[in-house]
Amino acid sequence: MKASAFFIVIVMLFNSCVDGKKSASDSLKAESIRNKNKPNIVFILVDDLGYHDLGVTGSTFYETPNIDQLANESMIFKNGYAASRVCSPSRASIMTGKFTARHGITDWIGAKTGENWRSRNRHDKLLPAEYIHTLPKAEITIAEAFQQAEYKTFFAGKWHLGGEGSYPENHGFDINIAGIDAGSPRGGYFSPWNNPKLQNKNKGDNLTIRLANETADFIGKHKDSAFFAFLSFYAVHAPIQTTQEKWKKYRDKADSAVIADKGYAMERVLPIRQVQDNPIYAGLVETMDDAVGIVLEALEANGVADNTIVVFTSDNGGVASGDHYATSNLPLRGGKGYQWEGGIKEPFFIKVPWLDNGGTKTDCPVIGTDFYPTLLDLANLQLNQQQHADGISLKPLLEGKDLIVKRPLYWHYPHYGNQGGEPTSIIQQDGWKLIHYWEDGHEELYKLPSTEHDSLNVISSYPKIVENMSDSLMLWLKEVNAKFPTEDTEYNKSKAESRRLNTINNKWPSLENNRLKVLSKDFQPNDNWWKSKVTID
């Protein structure tokens, strides 16, 4: 491995990131099982799922028994991160093994940049940076790596990494079900939907369940050959929809726990949700969990569960502001689009059946770029550090070995989030997180995990740490040719202030009213529950 400030230093030390060790006999047994067959891969990616949106990660409102069981059979990475606070960049990092500033997709594909940003009437100080709008063909995706190893490759669900000519089938997937340029489900979660890659069959069919059934069908047809299946749910992205039955279940659950009078607090730019009590979002989450159960059952029914690695994660934090204000990420600050932990910390589970480490937890910080080399390594395929330049194999951790991985993690988002996030770049290393703000150059320093939860910025107490981390961040951004926002010469401070006051005086009260309306016993979003939405804008 090349020596570089931007690659990984793995030091074998007495202290371990992993709770517990495997005996020599267990390791030999695991090796025997692993060598018996070429392992299959099922990668489950949820859209906009917050860290605390699962029972296993602390939610007492949403019910996710299938995912909870999967987590208990997996290694749980307590400090697992998405590579971005929004979808397309994070997904590109999973596919390429590279941080966003390196591959160039730094915002969700379709977001406005430069002077076009003014059409949003946001009245921001900066014009967002340009970014790449299509996953480059030069990148050897994780799917292509497995395809070259004679795996049958399958994709189902949300793609959002380019249009015609840059669909999943153009980047290593033999089969593509529903993967198009769209970032949300056109037509909603109930058939008829508007997706040229997914045929409508029965009116009212649920999209999330349909994608799971398509994946289960693929598993059944290819149980006798090695496969790489990537199930990329559109859920739990807006439009937030569920059935009347599920809405009632969770409305009654919220009511029995006593519905809070207030559900929001003001963040820097927008109100942000403080409670998990949205009954329609809860129904959407439960349906996604039902779908995960279908896939896991298919592995068992086809006799391949013992030889199939299962990954479960999300592409960014839960939507607590903007969009549909669906969930709360507390005690993490922020959510999708935000620069704090709530925007990037994710459920991050890897099940490797032959390692028998179910429920084992590690505190080691890991990130979405690590999936690429980890899965190659677990499948005994050759790593390609030049491609997955910002990822490392987590196989040693999965095997229970004593090691500490020392490396910086980087995030670069030179844009404004729809949810209230600001243009920033971040470096995280050795338990510290430094955030650099591009509007005025100020920085924040957090000692993880405690100070990030309660928003205690300790920038003034550790000047040397700040200096070193800031220098490292700027050097890295220069080396990867990162793009930056520019000053908007037409910025109008009075218009910006007027927008802020309108948000506080009108938007915030409206959100509070709509939250209670969704929780009322006689709530009806419209005449057709197939189109029910979680909030009323």
Look up residue 8 and give its two tokens.
């990984």
Half-sphere exposure at residue 390, Cβ-oriented, CA atoms within 13 angstroms = 25
Backbone phi, psi, residue 220, to 5°: -60, -40
Look up residue 159 and give its two tokens.
């793609």
Q: Where are the beta strands (DSSP E) in 281-339?
A: 308-314
Query: What is the predicted pLDDT for the residue at 398?
Result: 96
Closest CA to 209 of 225, 227, 228, 233: 233
Own/partner pairs for 358-361, CB < 8 Å, 24+ apart?
358/72, 358/73, 358/74, 358/75, 359/71, 359/72, 359/73, 359/74, 359/76, 360/18, 360/19, 360/20, 360/75, 360/76, 360/400, 361/19, 361/75, 361/76, 361/77, 361/78
Pairing of strands 152-157, 175-177: parallel
Whether residue 414 contacts residue 423, with contact meaning beta carbons closer than 8 Å, is answered with yes
Backbone phi, psi, residue 398, to 5°: -65, -30
Whether residue 304 contacts residue 320, with contact meaning beta carbons closer than 8 Å, is answered with no
3-state helix, strand, coil in the chain (%, to 5): 35, 15, 50
**196 burial via Cβ count (<10 Å: 0-12, 13-18, 19+):** exposed
d(CA 441, CA 139): 33
Strand partners, 155: 176, 230
Task: Indicate the pTM of the whole model.
Answer: 0.92
Query: What is the predicted pLDDT for the residue at 324?
Result: 86
Whether residue 322 contacts residue 419, with contact meaning beta carbons closer than 8 Å, is answered with yes
Helix axes 207-221, 279-301, angle to 10 degrees: 10
Strand partners, 152: 227
Least confidently predicted of 58-67, 273-282, 394-403: 394-403
Whether residue 33 contacts residue 354, with contact meaning beta carbons closer than 8 Å, is answered with yes
| pLDDT value at 98 more than 70 | yes
Give the amino acid at 148. Answer: Q
| pLDDT value at 35 more than 90 | no
CB neighbourhood size of 221 (10 A): 14
Closest CA to 419 of 312, 271, 313: 271
132-154 pLDDT tens trace: 999 999 999 999 999 999 999 99
**Predicted confidence band of residue 2 (pLDDT cuts 50, 70, 90):** very low
Residue 262's SS3 state is coil
| pLDDT value at 328 more than 50 | yes
Stronger pLDDT, 27 or 284, i.e. the higher one? 284
**Predicted confidence band of residue 33 (pLDDT cuts 50, 70, 90):** very low
pLDDT > 90 fraction of the chain, expressed in percent and rounded: 85
- Report, as an integer, the average pLDDT of 315-334: 95
- Report, as an integer, the average pLDDT of 322-327: 91
d(CA 176, CA 155): 5
Q: Computed from CA positions of residues 394, 400, 403, 404, in that sequence, does the dihedral angle turn out positive or negative?
A: positive
| pLDDT value at 378 more than 80 | yes
**Predicted confidence band of residue 428 (pLDDT cuts 50, 70, 90):** very high
d(CA 280, CA 261): 18
- Report, as an integer, the average pLDDT of 351-380: 95
Look up residue 55 and give its two tokens.
């029972």
**Predicted confidence band of residue 124 (pLDDT cuts 50, 70, 90):** very high
- Report, as an integer, the average pLDDT of 485-511: 96
Q: Helix (H) and strand (E) counts for the chain?
A: 15, 20
| pLDDT value at 531 more than 80 | no
Q: What is the mean pLDDT of the chain?
A: 91
Segment holding 152, helix H or strand E: strand 152-157
Buried b / exposed e over 308-345, threshold 16 CB at 10 Å, is bbbbbbbbbbbbbbbbbbbbbbbebbbbbbbbbbbbbb
Query: What is the predicted pLDDT for the residue at 453?
Result: 74
**Predicted confidence band of residue 251 (pLDDT cuts 50, 70, 90):** very high
Closest CA to 413 of 100, 122, 40: 100
133 CB-near residues (< 8 Å, 6+ apart)? 105, 109, 110, 162
Closest CA to 320 of 312, 309, 310, 328: 328
Query: What is the predicted pLDDT for the residue at 314?
Result: 98
**Predicted confidence band of residue 402 (pLDDT cuts 50, 70, 90):** confident
**Predicted confidence band of residue 528 (pLDDT cuts 50, 70, 90):** low
Query: What is the predicted pLDDT for the residue at 527?
Result: 61
Query: What is the predicted pLDDT for the residue at 405?
Result: 67
183-220 pLDDT tens trace: 999 999 999 999 999 999 998 899 999 999 999 999 99
Closest CA to 169 of 153, 193, 148: 153
pLDDT > 70 fraction of the chain, expressed in percent and rounded: 90
Backbone phi, psi, residue 250, to 5°: -85, -25
